[in-house]
């Protein structure tokens, strides 16, 4: 598949999320993610607000679902999400429930292999149970204790093991993220707020500078 750029809105208010999303869309970002902090703070209202503001853009709801998958998927689909995230370490029944609801409502499921004891086996199991995408994810807390951990620890093995598209997130520099399509992971994520050289680019930052950074990133991803 052609490279896709997704912005992860890891913010805690709808207003900030909308401001950041507007800049990202103007810069050419393809998908908008309602990050887990945003969903915890604002819930379905955040997804609904993003859908109203961006009626044509795919919206990923990063639920990190561990149980009750049918209901959670149904709720997000009705709110306007086009993709939901289920955890690979959940019970396989949970993964199948997310997929069942997604098929009913015409949306997609992303399976996150965060914390899986065997990342490759987890990715294969997710694909076998019907997920549409695999997320190779190195967690924030994990990286806090071991800064050497990145998706590269098992990214290439996962890409070889599955046939669905792969996304890699967590512990990647902006340069590494831009190179992800070359490593077999065409779904590229850039987080917001964005930190470069210890400087944070949040909604309150210079809008044009932020848009310039995001546009350059999009061009790098798309043009290889």
Question: CATH: 3.20.20.80, 3.40.50.300, 3.20.20.70, 3.40.640.10. Which one for 4-109+170-223?
Answer: 3.20.20.70
pLDDT band at 61 (very low <50, low <70, confident <90, very high): very high
Task: Report yes or no: 81 and 47 within 8 Å, Cβ to Cβ.
Answer: yes
Question: Could you give the CA distance from residue 224 to residue 220 in angstroms, rounded to a whole number?
Answer: 6
Q: Which one, of 84, 27, 83, 14, lies nearest residue 53 by Cα?
A: 14
The reply to whether the predicted model has a pTM over 0.95 is yes
Question: Could you give the CA distance from residue 82 to residue 124 in angstroms, rounded to a whole number?
Answer: 23
> What rounded mean pLDDT belongs to the chain?
96
Per-residue pLDDT reduced to its tens digit, 79-122: 999 999 999 999 999 999 999 999 999 999 999 999 999 999 99
The total number of residues written for the chain in this structure: 224
pLDDT band at 129 (very low <50, low <70, confident <90, very high): very high
Task: Report yes or no: 20 and 7 within 8 Å, Cβ to Cβ.
Answer: yes
Question: Could you give the CA distance from residue 134 to residue 122 in angstroms, rounded to a whole number?
Answer: 10
| Residues in CB range of 95: below 8 A, 6 or more apart | 69, 86, 88, 109, 111, 125, 126, 129, 130, 131
Q: How many CB atoms lie within 10 A of CB 103?
A: 13
Question: Could you give the CA distance from residue 73 to residue 204 in angstroms, rounded to a whole number?
Answer: 32
Cα dihedral 87→90→95→101 (10° resolution): -80
pLDDT band at 199 (very low <50, low <70, confident <90, very high): confident
pLDDT at 161: 98
């Amino acid at each position: 598949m052609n490279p896709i750029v997704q912005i992860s809105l890891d913010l805690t208010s709808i207003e900030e999320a909308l401001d950041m999303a507007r800049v990202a869309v103007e810069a050419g970002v393809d998908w908008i993610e309602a990050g887990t902090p945003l969903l915890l703070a604002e819930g379905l209202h955040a997804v609904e607000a993003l859908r109203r503001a961006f009626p044509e853009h795919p919206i990923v709801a990063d639920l990190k679902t561990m149980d009750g998958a049918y209901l959670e998927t149904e709720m997000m689909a009705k709110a306007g999400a086009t993709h939901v995230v289920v955890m690979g370490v959940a019970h396989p029944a949970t993964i199948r429930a997310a997929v069942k609801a997604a098929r009913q409502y015409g949306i997609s499921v992303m399976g996150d292999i965060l914390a899986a004891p065997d990342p490759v086996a987890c990715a294969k199991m997710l694909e076998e149970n019907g997920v549409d995408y695999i997320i190779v994810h190195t967690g924030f807390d994990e990286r806090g204790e071991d800064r050497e951990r990145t998706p590269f620890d098992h990214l290439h093995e996962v890409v070889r093991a599955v046939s669905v598209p792969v996304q890699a997130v967590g512990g990647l520099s902006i340069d590494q993220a831009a190179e992800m399509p070359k490593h077999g992971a065409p779904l590229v994520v850039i987080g917001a707020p964005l930190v470069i050289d210890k400087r944070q680019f949040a909604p309150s930052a210079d809008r044009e500078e932020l848009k310039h950074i995001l546009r350059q990133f999009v061009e790098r991803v798309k043009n290889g």
